A and B are shown apart, each in its own frame.
Chain A
Amino acid sequence: MSVVEANSVVPNVVRKTALNAVHRQMGAKMVDFNGWDMPVEYPASIGCGIVNEHMAVRTGVGIFDVSHMGDIRLAGREALAAVQHISMNDASRLAIGQAQYSALLYPQGTFVDDVIVHRLGEDEYLLVINAGTREKDFSWVRDNTRQFDCVVENLSDDFTQIAIQGPRGVDVLQKLTDANLKAVKFYWVTRGSLCGLKNILMGRTGYTAEDGFEIYIPSDEETSARVWYEILDAGKQFGAVPCGLGARNTLRLEGKLPLYGHEISDTIDVWEAGLDRFCKMDKPNFIGRAALEKAKAAGVKRTLVGLEMVDRGIARDGYRILDEKGREIGYVTSGSPAPFLKKNIALAYVPPEQAAVGTTVKVEIRGQGVKAQVVPTPFYKRQKKS
């Protein structure tokens, strides 16, 4: 037996978060993810594994080390104008303490990266960016905001970022902080004391299609490890488990949250990716806007759809999509068993003519066309508390 395919990228440099030793000590299975040595799952001996970790987040709470994510701060008189120039969502709509999903685009309307833009102060913004694109993003932001009166800082190495995800995430974190978390709405941030640390940024954000928080603490190993274990301890009564990138991937896939290099990339544009509602064409000009206007007029040649396997088989990243006659019409961007939905699901690019819900296509699995159907997305949507 040997692994012939895996949903991860092979890197050339290995980087570690401040919690690396903690993951190893807990017996996590480590993988290379975009150059980072990260936990993919924790051992069955302590009750974890991708399926258990995934279910914990859907039904209770899971704790993730997401320190590989990067952070860029823009501050100064023209910080808003700078953010508006480099991102597709409308940052002028953000109140202080509010966050929004957005993206940095190339002039051709394709993706530099997707980001969460947080407005931290009157003229202060924090962009949270992907691990694999940290350096590229920072250079891009710095180079394209030179004309604005604002300071651009790469804070990526300053924070250990921990995600506390799941319906009980708020209860776990509330045990450790004096901030009133119930008052923090989804995609808003607050600051407060946490585990004896002062003025800690906590955002009600995540990448699991579930309620939860992401916290930003100092990145020294001692503090990082102490807070990690304090969160796990506080979560014990709610069944909290540590979660790796495996569950992070299946959770975000069920929620149709894009992954850079898969659903979005430097060759895929906003319309193809179906991220229209995060792209505000009516706001002041931004990089990529002109190309997107042309692309919209021309019409898309491919579009992202959700697939559910009808016949036995699992679609995987990169597999080809065939029509009924066996002709290649597209490809899978992300595919996996969905642990909560208990179905085999995938995201794929296909021509618009084959994108209607109910359309039958085939996924080529080891040379065989296996039947799949276009289904509504997201595959999973959390029930909002009333």
Chain B
Amino acid sequence: MPYPTDRRYTKEHEWITADGTIGITTHAQDSLGDIVFVELPKVGAEITTGKPFGTVESVKAVSDLYAPVSGTVTGVNEALATAPEQVNKDAHGAWMIKINVKDPAEVGTLLSSADYDKFVSEEAGH
């Protein structure tokens, strides 16, 4: 599974680009199954590294979304409120929020595409 190299990843299966766009990975959408509900913060909200910033629900399960880094929300993908299945169709395109990253250096500490790929395969091996 090739993960885009233009972004960084977390072990909680979120991705973030250098300009602060955040979503969940295709691996995440696959393990969730049919996504039916996405709850996101409002523009202006502060999110904090490792803390929940929203919720995604599939038919079967409820999952928290964790902030890859700290920052202030500058944009929310409102389309996901009525078309949450976009996340299943194109997880790496269906972004959730955009943030003004507090410390740009923090993004660089996250997993690279190759490291995330390795992490996912190891997780699947268990």
Instruction: Using CB atoms, name the residue of chain A closest to B28.
Output: A1
In the bound complex, how far is the Cα of B60 from the Cα of A50, in angstroms?
Answer: 8
Does B13 lie at the interface of the complex (its beta carbon under 8 Å from any beta carbon of A)?
yes
If A314-B57, A366-B55 touch, whether A3 touches B63 (CB-CB below 8 Å) is yes
Q: Kindly identify which residue among A1, A5, A50, A336 contacts B33, using a CB–CB cutoff of 8 Å.
A: A50
Does A2 lie at the interface of the complex (its beta carbon under 8 Å from any beta carbon of B)?
yes
Contacts of B57 in A (CB 8 A): 314
Structural contact, B24 and A1, CB atoms closer than 8 A = yes
Structural contact, A51 and B34, CB atoms closer than 8 A = yes
In the bound complex, how far is the Cα of B117 from the Cα of A97, in angstroms?
Answer: 56
Structural contact, A250 and B65, CB atoms closer than 8 A = no
Query: Which B1-22 residues sit within 8 Å CB-CB of chain A?
Result: 12-14
Q: How far is the CB of B81 from chain A (nearest CB, A)?
A: 8
Structural contact, A50 and B34, CB atoms closer than 8 A = yes
If A1-B12, A1-B14, A1-B24 touch, whether A41 touches B62 (CB-CB below 8 Å) is no
Contacts of B14 in A (CB 8 A): 1
Contact flags (1/0) for B18-61 with A, using CB distance below 8 Å? 00000010001011111011000000000000000001111111
Interface size class of A (residues with CB under 8 A): 20 to 34
Structural contact, A49 and B34, CB atoms closer than 8 A = yes
Q: How far is the CB of B1 from chain A (nearest CB, A)?
A: 12
Instruction: Using CB atoms, name the residue of chain A closest to B58.
Output: A50
B30, B60, B63 — most chain A CB neighbours (10 Å)? B60
Does B66 lie at the interface of the complex (its beta carbon under 8 Å from any beta carbon of A)?
yes
Contacts of A40 in B (CB 8 A): 33, 60
In the bound complex, how far is the Cα of B54 from the Cα of A1, in angstroms?
Answer: 9
Does B78 lie at the interface of the complex (its beta carbon under 8 Å from any beta carbon of A)?
no
Does B64 lie at the interface of the complex (its beta carbon under 8 Å from any beta carbon of A)?
yes
B24, B32, B33, B56 — most chain A CB neighbours (10 Å)? B33
Structural contact, B63 and A314, CB atoms closer than 8 A = no
In the bound complex, how far is the Cα of B34 from the Cα of A339, in angstroms?
Answer: 10
Contact flags (1/0) for B59-82 with A, using CB distance below 8 Å? 111111110000000000000010
Contacts of A49 in B (CB 8 A): 33-34
Structural contact, B55 and A29, CB atoms closer than 8 A = no
Contacts of B31 in A (CB 8 A): 29
In the bound complex, how far is the Cα of B65 from the Cα of A50, in angstroms?
Answer: 22
Contacts of B64 in A (CB 8 A): 1-2, 4
Structural contact, A1 and B65, CB atoms closer than 8 A = yes
In the bound complex, how far is the Cα of B33 from the Cα of A51, in angstroms?
Answer: 9
Structural contact, B60 and A7, CB atoms closer than 8 A = yes
Structural contact, A1 and B63, CB atoms closer than 8 A = yes
Structural contact, A6 and B61, CB atoms closer than 8 A = yes
Instruction: Using CB atoms, name the residue of chain A closest to B30.
Output: A44
Instruction: Using CB atoms, name the residue of chain B closest to A50.
Output: B59
Q: How far is the CB of B86 from chain A (nearest CB, A)?
A: 14
In the bound complex, how far is the Cα of B36 from the Cα of A41, in angstroms?
Answer: 16
Structural contact, A7 and B30, CB atoms closer than 8 A = no
Structural contact, B60 and A6, CB atoms closer than 8 A = yes
Q: Kindly identify which residue among B30, B33, B63, B88 contacts A4, using a CB–CB cutoff of 8 Å.
A: B63
Does A119 lie at the interface of the complex (its beta carbon under 8 Å from any beta carbon of B)?
no
Structural contact, A5 and B30, CB atoms closer than 8 A = no
Using a CB–CB distance below 8 Å, which chain B residues touch chain A? 12-14, 24, 28, 30-34, 36-37, 55-66, 81, 88
Q: A316-B62, A336-B59 are in contact. List 19 more A-B contacts (CB 8 A).
A: A1-B13, A4-B63, A4-B64, A5-B61, A5-B62, A29-B31, A40-B60, A41-B33, A44-B30, A49-B33, A49-B34, A50-B59, A312-B37, A312-B81, A314-B37, A314-B57, A314-B62, A336-B60, A337-B36
- Some 29 contacts from A to B, beta carbons below 8 A apart, are A1-B12, A1-B13, A1-B56, A1-B63, A1-B64, A1-B66, A2-B63, A2-B64, A3-B62, A4-B64, A5-B61, A6-B60, A7-B60, A29-B33, A41-B60, A44-B88, A49-B33, A50-B34, A50-B59, A50-B60, A51-B34, A246-B59, A250-B59, A314-B36, A336-B59, A337-B36, A337-B59, A339-B34, A366-B55
